[in-house]
Structure 1
Amino acid sequence: MQIVLRIQPEGTQVLIPASLPLPEALLTAGTAIALPCGGKGTCGRCRVRFLGTAPVPTPEEFAEVSSNELEAGWRLACRHILTDSAEIYVPPSSQWVPAKDFFAQMPAVWAHRYRRFLLRVPNHCSLQSEDLRAYVNEHLRQHGHTHPTWLGRAPLDLPKSLSYTPTRLQVDLYDDYVLRVHISERAATRSPLGLAVDVGTTTLAAALVDLETGEVLAADSTLNPQARVGADVMSRIRYAMESPEGTMRLHEAVVRGIEELSRRLIQSTPHAYKDILVAVAVGNPTMMHTLFGESPQSLGQAPYFGLWYGPRIEAVSCGQFELLPHLLLVGGPMISGHVGADLVAAVVATGLLAQPQPVLLLDIGTNCELALWDGQTLWVTSAPAGPAFEAATISSGMRAEPGAIDHVAFTSDGQVLIHTIGGGPPKGICGAGLIDVLALLLEIEGVDAAGNLQPARECVESLRIQPSAHGPIYELSIFAHGSQVPVTLTQADVRALQLAKSAIRAALEVLLHESQITPAKLTRIYLAGSFGAHLRASSLQRIGVLPEDVAPDRILSVGNAAGAGVVHMLCRREAWEQALQVARSAKYVELAGMPLFDELFIEHMQFPSRP
């Protein structure tokens, strides 16, 4: 049964199957909903308004939505299944529009993974016979490709009959994999394209890349469709464990997400789907397992081993990718059950192994991955930071979009400067703003070293502490110019930030201990990820995420390093070989059950004190 879903204010109208969960129905229509709590109805962030008859409120909605809002048709999207046609208003605050860049600067000279060969067709060779495959193989061997691989089927892009005999064929080769054989006259104007895919737990991103030039033609991102079953990797693993079809549903969700991104990328360029020959994907181990249709269950149980760690190369099965039926899918190499191909790609992009002195790389997100190069050995680990730094579970938290407070600082005359993305009135606060606020509060003693808000202290004009309606808990209210409502930071928010920063700092200290390096010897600290690009080094040091004995000018934001790295891995043979070397040689440090990590975690729950 099909029903009609109308989405406002975009005015979108689509036919969808009945009985879909509302977040999935909205995603099918191209509107992604933020589900920070994993769709449990506890965060209240997925509010939508039914413009017609609204469903009966659930107990969770009585707790999270006011009676006036319920009467006006407001509901939590995660609590409902759409059984009838509906018109629904989705406010910007409930939508998820993530963004990741894929900027990659190619060197002047590089060895291509993609190559094209032009062959003259011999008179005795039939276009539809095994003779053609043998002839192609012999030609490739003469050019140094001793073991060409056809992956079980001949990707012949040739007509069954011709009114003429073509004089030349073109063979598209990727490493030693034959991607396509076609008539060269027809291929003259077609560029060979590849997809660079970053499969994040929260964000799914892809770039359309010219395989010959390395140019990123277009890039796009969306909410990972798997997010409807949970916000973190453990929720995905539990789903695979508890549902007989969980693994396959997770696989289908990420495949459909990649196909949707492919559709949008192709529509933004003059190219065709058949020009996309290969995709290289990176992500954490759970995402990589689900991408290839493998169960991630072993990643959630001690000793937390994956089913594989090396590179994985497959020709997609018939019907798996409907828009890209002849795609060669390549999974980047991983390091351990907790450190994936995304960190490997970031190491490649930043050139960590080429640095003569100690360098640290942090990819800060829900799961923080760290890599420390001491000049001889690459030490890596992973820390469960949780979603606090991304503001997902913070009382006034929001993603980095217009209206989000992203920076807070003192001016030269002692006033507080509050900056919002887009310059408009504050609507909430994003992760970078949270860290700035916390650093500022520590400076003015609005928060003590133990993380307690100090209600008796008079703060500067823009910041004031007042009792909340929840008993002996206090709220910090930020009243900026033009703000309609206060943006609050509660005691619970501070505790969530403490847990996150302590996990990251403890993991960092463990790597320093294992490598016998002091923080002062670090010549660079790279902050990777779309979140890391907006962080202020001084604020990270003030709240204790990073050691204070590293000069701030040594702390650099490198943006989406995993995205840049996967573009290099897609196009450049040297980058791919370096990724394999990184994955083989890295020394993984397991934090679970390590007494030193537990001790450091407790120690760094305290905020640094000023002398």
Structure 2
Amino acid sequence: MSGLEQRAITKVIIDYEPVGKRVYAGIGQTILAAAQGLELFEHGISAPCGGKGLCGRCLVRLIAGELSLPSANEMNMLAPARLEQGYRLACQAQIAGPCKIEIPVTSLIGRQQLQVESQYQAAPVDYPFKRYSVSGLINTSIHHPHSLWQQIEKFLKDRHGVTGLTVSLALLRRVNPMVTDGELAVAVCGSQIVNVAAVDCPYTPFGLAIDLGTTKIAAFLIRLDTGETVAAEGILNPQIAYGEDLMSRLAFAMAGEDNARQMVSTAAGGINELAERLALTQGISVNQISQAVIVGNTAMHHLLLGLPIKQLVLSPYVPAATLPIETAAISIGLNLGEAARVYMTPPIGGFVGGDHVAMIQASRIDEAQGITLGIDIGTNTEIVLAVNGRMLSSCSCASGPAFEGAHIYQGMRAVNGAISEVRLSSGGMGVSWQTIGNQKPIGLCGSGIIDLIAELNKAGVIAENGRLNTAHPRVRTEPGKVPEFLVVPCEESGCDCDIVITQKDIGEIQLAKAAIASGIILLSTALGVKVEEIEQVIIAGAFGSFLRLESAIAVGMLPNLPLKRFSQVGNAAGAGACMSLISERERRRAECLATAIEHVELAIQPTFKRVFAKSLQFPRLS
């Protein structure tokens, strides 16, 4: 047994700078694992590959203390000079004693620019909530041996014809069953009594609509009696600590039952945090939240519910359930109201989830006249094409991570300091940029990456096949390294190094944009229409909200159609969740949509390889 193994149960102090956080960690634990215990995912360490030592993005520096010797992965990814300066990969470096660790700004998970709202309005309210004023209550006594609940039941039956009501055990435990003469207000949601209070203290029912995304969780606090959204907020999904892409998280969850339970509790913890934040803004308790609706992609759906997931990563990628699910909030770790219920919109297929159903539900694509294309661009990208009521849908799951910077050398999420817009002048010699927060640039977020490649394409710095022109003055080539285009020189950056885009980065974007473009082409072919005949294009999702359409067309990601045919609608999935929260009719409509949408697996289409290969090319636009 090694020295590290012998001392594995020893706890030592680890200080993280510049976040100013301290944890007690075990000898032999990795720097990344210890940081995950901070539960501060907006200020933790970025690990896109889920801690496998494959991406090199969890770079940290040892300021003081003792760590294990560099692993083979670290020796391969970090230059000798970097290792001598104390730089390590947080997922590989093991704790050997008390340490002080610096997390460079480029490795920090910052507060991301999150899209929460949508342009769509909520549906008309038909949530089954009623208030009854129960009068004529008689004091419980030997002469009138009837409890409060017996008298309420009789009053509602005799006066309103209401029968078959249930009462939660939690409410029975809380309310004194002995009656005091007078009058009470009784609140009923559906067939359940949810509250009993004095008439002058009316009960206001609240619900929570959740868009459980791979990268973000968006939540909306809504009054169930009026349908009014009183507060909304988004946070990064704390599961990011276990990998930024779906496959990394699924692999982590499949590694053992403890891991699977951790994924459930982590997702639930993020929702609970949002519920607490939103309730606080209204001065209410989370106990007043009696209903929740959650939409998410199939993997997020399964990971939250603790469903079997092995079949999601193996062909033919079958979900464990494609039916709507309603369960007690507490059963999945949500700390909401007494006997609060959670409804989850059903997924369609292995990589097309209830969030896609909710996007179609909110945007009314199923009711659109003519040919309508819907694209929900996020960590995963779902595509739907509707022609006169018939809908084909597919998923280009390979597209999202690259657009969010996960597979790009100096890519990052949309946080302060990320380059979000780029313009080139003088044939690519001059580069101007805009960063989020107007801070010094530290990397490229998705919209900036698309902008940059579009500008490189228009300036002829890259060829149709994506190869950089090595004769260009800003293109650098060194032996043993891939060519790279200099975007920001070190002296102008905020990360003490040049910011570049590499030939490999361009290849990643080619794969990502080709996944979307080929999906659009193949769905059009399946429905017997031409891409140029598409009359309306709805762009939804976080990334889609900040995307410059001209750039997306210039790289060949979106079809070359007039800009007036495009609409960027924001978080349509969240809007669909809100609709299902306040309307029983909308829930039934979403369920019908989930069964009506025809799911298409792109990879098994006969022409997929040919169409995908052609879509890798960059267009030469006139």
Counterpart of 1:466 in structure 2 is: 476
Counterpart of 2:596 in structure 1 is: 585
Q: TM-score normalised to the size of structure 2?
A: 0.86
Q: Which amino acid aligns with 1:193?
A: F
Change (3 A) 1:277 1:408: same
State the Cα distance separating 1:374 from its structure 2 match: 1.2
Matched, 1:38 2:53: no
Q: Which amino acid aligns with 1:402?
A: N
Q: 2:616 aligns with which of 602, 605, 610?
A: 605
Paired residues for 1:30-429 under 5 Å: 31-59=43-71, 60-65=73-78, 70=83, 74-79=87-92, 88-96=101-109, 97-103=111-117, 110-120=124-134, 122-123=137-138, 126-127=146-147, 131=150, 134-135=153-154, 138=157, 142=161, 153=169, 155-156=171-172, 158-160=174-176, 164-165=180-181, 167-173=183-189, 176-178=190-192, 180-185=194-199, 187-188=201-202, 191-317=204-330, 320-322=333-335, 326-386=339-399, 387-410=401-424, 416-429=431-444
State the Cα distance separating 1:572 from its structure 2 match: 3.1
| Residues 394-429 of structure 1: per-residue CA shift (max 9 Å, x gap) | 111111122222112357999654222233332211
Contact kept, 8 Å, 2:147 with 2:178, in 1: the verdict is: no
CA distance in 2, matches of 1:306, 1:157: 39
SS state of the match for residue 195, structure 2?
strand
CA distance in 1, matches of 2:23, 2:337: 23
Counterpart of 1:443 in structure 2 is: 458
Matched, 1:547 2:562: no
SS state of the match for residue 205, structure 1?
strand
- Of 99-108 and 201-210, deviating more is 99-108
State the Cα distance separating 1:101 from its structure 2 match: 3.7
Counterpart of 2:579 in structure 1 is: 568
CA distance in 2, matches of 1:48, 1:297: 33
- Of 511-520 and 280-289, deviating more is 511-520
Change (3 A) 1:439 1:119: same
CA distance in 2, matches of 1:497, 1:106: 30
CA distance in 2, matches of 1:560, 1:345: 10
| Residues 17-57 of structure 1: per-residue CA shift (max 9 Å, x gap) | 99682242132687443221221122222234455424224
Change (3 A) 1:172 1:510: same
CA distance in 2, matches of 1:140, 1:349: 39
State the Cα distance separating 1:291 from its structure 2 match: 1.4
Q: Which amino acid aligns with 1:475?
A: E
State the Cα distance separating 1:274 from its structure 2 match: 0.9
Q: Which amino acid aligns with 1:580?
A: E
Contact kept, 8 Å, 1:155 with 1:178, in 2: the verdict is: no
Change (3 A) 1:107 1:491: closer
CA distance in 2, matches of 1:83, 1:161: 60
| Residues 150-176 of structure 1: per-residue CA shift (max 9 Å, x gap) | 6x8564474336683452132240xx3
SS state of the match for residue 433, structure 1?
helix
Q: 2:519 aligns with which of 491, 503, 507?
A: 507
Contact kept, 8 Å, 1:50 with 1:87, in 2: the verdict is: yes
Contact kept, 8 Å, 1:358 with 1:375, in 2: the verdict is: yes
State the Cα distance separating 1:580 from its structure 2 match: 2.0
Identity %: 30
CA distance in 2, matches of 1:319, 1:381: 29
State the Cα distance separating 1:370 from its structure 2 match: 0.6
Q: 2:486 aligns with which of 473, 477, 480?
A: 477
Counterpart of 1:9 in structure 2 is: 18
CA distance in 2, matches of 1:377, 1:290: 31
CA distance in 2, matches of 1:103, 1:339: 22
SS state of the match for residue 226, structure 1?
helix
CA distance in 2, matches of 1:509, 1:137: 59
State the Cα distance separating 1:268 from its structure 2 match: 3.9
Q: 2:534 aligns with which of 522, 528, 546?
A: 522
Contact kept, 8 Å, 1:9 with 1:90, in 2: the verdict is: yes
Q: TM-score normalised to the size of structure 1?
A: 0.87
SS state of the match for residue 337, structure 1?
coil
Contact kept, 8 Å, 1:360 with 1:370, in 2: the verdict is: yes
Q: Which amino acid aligns with 2:227?
A: G
